[in-house]
Structure 1
Amino acid sequence: MITVTQAGPVPRHTVPQQRGEFQLAAAVRYTEERHWDVCAGTWLETVGGTEHCSCGDLGCASPGAHPAGADWAGLATGSAAAVRRMWTEHPGACVLLPTGRAFDVLDVPESAGFLALARMERLGLPLGPVTRTPDRRMCFFVLPGAADKAAGLARELGWSADAIGLVGRGTGHYVVAPPTRVGGRGAVQWARRPSQANRWLPDAVELISPLAYACGRDAADARTRLS
């Protein structure tokens, strides 16, 4: 980390070099190995010994882990060379993956996600990559189109997607990818890493039943604890 002395002015941007290198390496790998589009987002700046989001909002809800501007989707690219230029300009930027292109995601509470993941593995269901975030959510990567039909599929099984915390993210949305760190809360991680074995993504209909069941059970448990 860059050390600022009292002898000179405090720079606006101070970014841990190693963190930026990790995020750049991951972003390049996503483009080259998975052919995913990638966009550089905001980053964490250290000013006077305190980390802040580069957006300038001291109360930022996702410090260092959201788009840097309204045009983020248009800037997302599958070119490794373009990705390297992005991180040359903004070392330490978070890694954003647009949904609705190579994949959508089914976003669920973490406790429900782990329950569903264990059940899916027991049943031998096809699985794509899965992330877990510091705000205790898990994102299951599925084929594009899932976001438009997730709520309807859950309703057919007797569940309200809104009530159980199951969210489909498609066109116009994004996921924050590992190894991005969200302020002081921790880093986004892979619960199931991208690999050759999960290159082919499942359709939402293949995962919706265990996910909806797990989310419903988790929501019921939460209500019981509060009663």
Structure 2
Amino acid sequence: MEETIAGPETAPIPKQRGASFLDSAVRYIEERHWDVVPGTWLEAADGMLHCSCGQRACPLPGAHPAGEDWASRATGSATVTRRLWARQPNASVLLPTGRAFDALDVPESAGFLALARMERMELTPGPVTVTPDRRMLFLVLPGTSAKVPDLVRGLGWSPAALDLTTLGEGAYVAAPPTRFGSRGAVQWVRRPTPANRWLPDAEELVSSLSYACGRDR
């Protein structure tokens, strides 16, 4: 259960329990060799939580890049990471795609259906996250997302008909414990463990994901 802290005329700001943003970022670097970059953060004012970007109607409050040069600031150095988060300890943790991994993005309902199907087929997915926006992201080998449209067509589906998108070079995923404003935090559905250290190729998962997205329409 989360604790919150609040001051006069402010909205409650979730108080971190367990690993901090910095702790999580360093762990991703040291245990998985993933690059990380600090994103925006949440600020409390006028009884509401606002994104540090200053956009009142920010669609991803506290969970998106803090500048256009974000990709160039991503690092795989724990030392640099500690220095970056020392400037803003509540900055979100973003992981660039197209480097150590790509991501396949599907609706949450389809993601759980696909995971059940993968289990029956004895397939081992890599790490999987779910966002407060009810999206599930499956991490796969980098570069493989480019294959997905042809793989989907080969299964008899039109890529445009399925709510299945890919994130590769130039994109990112928000990693736990990043929060989407007051909507909640990104969570691991399948945590990074030694058992899923070796990421699957997209073609290992796309059949289950396409089937699930087709059923979810």
Q: TM > 0.5 between the two? A: yes
Shift of 1:48: 3.4
- Counterpart of 2:101? 103
**1:42 and 1:67 in contact (8 A); partners too:** yes
Residue 211 of structure 2 aligns to a residue whose secondary structure is helix
Q: Which amino acid aligns with 1:65?
A: A
**1:51 and 1:183 in contact (8 A); partners too:** yes
**1:99 and 1:171 in contact (8 A); partners too:** yes
Shift of 1:191: 0.4
In the alignment, does 2:196 pair up with 1:198?
yes
For structure 2, the residue ranges without an aligned partner over 5 or more in a row are none
Assess, with a 3 A threshold, how the Cα gap between structure 1 residues 93 and 19 changes in structure 2: closer, same or farther.
Answer: farther
**1:106 and 1:146 in contact (8 A); partners too:** no
**1:20 and 1:91 in contact (8 A); partners too:** no
Assess, with a 3 A threshold, how the Cα gap between structure 1 residues 20 and 195 changes in structure 2: closer, same or farther.
Answer: closer
In the alignment, does 2:7 pair up with 1:3?
yes
The whole-number CA distance in structure 2 between the counterparts of 1:49 and 1:84 is 31
The whole-number CA distance in structure 2 between the counterparts of 1:18 and 1:143 is 31
| Structure having the larger proportion of residues in helix | 1
In the alignment, does 2:158 pair up with 1:154?
no
- Counterpart of 2:208? 210
Q: For 1:70, which of 68, 71, 78 is the aligned residue?
A: 68
- Counterpart of 2:40? 42
Aligned residues: percent identity? 65
Q: Which amino acid aligns with 1:106?
A: L
Shift of 1:145: 1.2
Shift of 1:18: 3.6
**2:13 and 2:49 in contact (8 A); partners too:** no
Count of residues paired in the alignment: 212
Runs of 4+ aligned structure 1 residues displaced above 3 Å come to: 1-5, 14-21
Q: For 1:186, which of 184, 187, 194 is the aligned residue?
A: 184
**Deviation per residue, 1:165-220 (Å, 9 max, x gap):** 1001100000000111101111100000000000000001111101100001101x
**1:132 and 1:138 in contact (8 A); partners too:** yes
**TM-score if structure 2 supplies the norm length?**
0.92
**1:106 and 1:139 in contact (8 A); partners too:** yes
Shift of 1:51: 1.0
- Counterpart of 2:87? 89
**Deviation per residue, 1:60-99 (Å, 9 max, x gap):** 0000000000000000001111111111111201110000
- Counterpart of 2:119? 121
Assess, with a 3 A threshold, how the Cα gap between structure 1 residues 45 and 21 changes in structure 2: closer, same or farther.
Answer: farther
C-alpha RMSD over aligned residues: 1.9
Residue 184 of structure 1 aligns to a residue whose secondary structure is helix
